Amino acid sequence: MTGDKPSHKHEDRNGGSGSAGRLEIDTPVVADGPELYRITRDSAVLDVNSSYAYLLWCRDFSQTSAVARVDGAVVGFVTGFIRPDAPDTIVVWQIAVDASQRGGGVAGKLLNHLLDRVQGRGVRFLETTITPDNTASIKLFSALARDRAAEINSSELFTADLFPDSHLGEDLYRIGPLDAA
């Protein structure tokens, strides 16, 4: 998909602190890659991948990712992929919301939109990794599990000593089984 109109779209009133435009959630297109990179970089919290990686996510993983737009501008995203060795599991790689939209439930709407799309493909579980100090993400995914009446389990996945830099360890969070919403 290079510039085609996204095929899955969800509209909602924007509840964030930013503009009062209409929030739309749909699949990303390649042209969204630079905005995903910018939002990640500006978060000052997430690991920033190369700009090239965000272009690839928008091209090769558009069906397992989603973007949120207000008045056509990208204000948030979630990137994910189906685990090759577990086709019933989607892995959420990154989720981020522009500072102008935080506090309005955009991240939760992105996750629910994505899950609604992939459950038709047999996805019953969501996995993500979170550093122990990222309380916002822990709360987000815990709320998702609660709202979907699913179990959430966490376990150590990658210890800090595995990273060649000063990265904290990453805990695996697994949510499911997920029932259709």
Give the pLDDT of residue 11: 54
**pLDDT under 70: residue ranges of the chain:** 1-20, 180-181
The DSSP bridge partners found for residue 9 are 26
Going along the chain from its start, the domains and CATH numbers come out as 9-176 (3.40.630.30)
100 C-beta neighbours (distance < 10 Å), count:
13
- Taking the C-alpha atoms of residue 55 and residue 71, their distance in angstroms, rounded to an integer, is 22
Across the chain, mean pLDDT equals 90
Phi, psi (degrees; rounded to nearest 5) at 78 = -135, 130
Q: What confidence tens digit (pLDDT) does each residue in 1-46 have?
A: 334 333 445 555 444 444 468 999 999 999 999 999 999 999 988 9
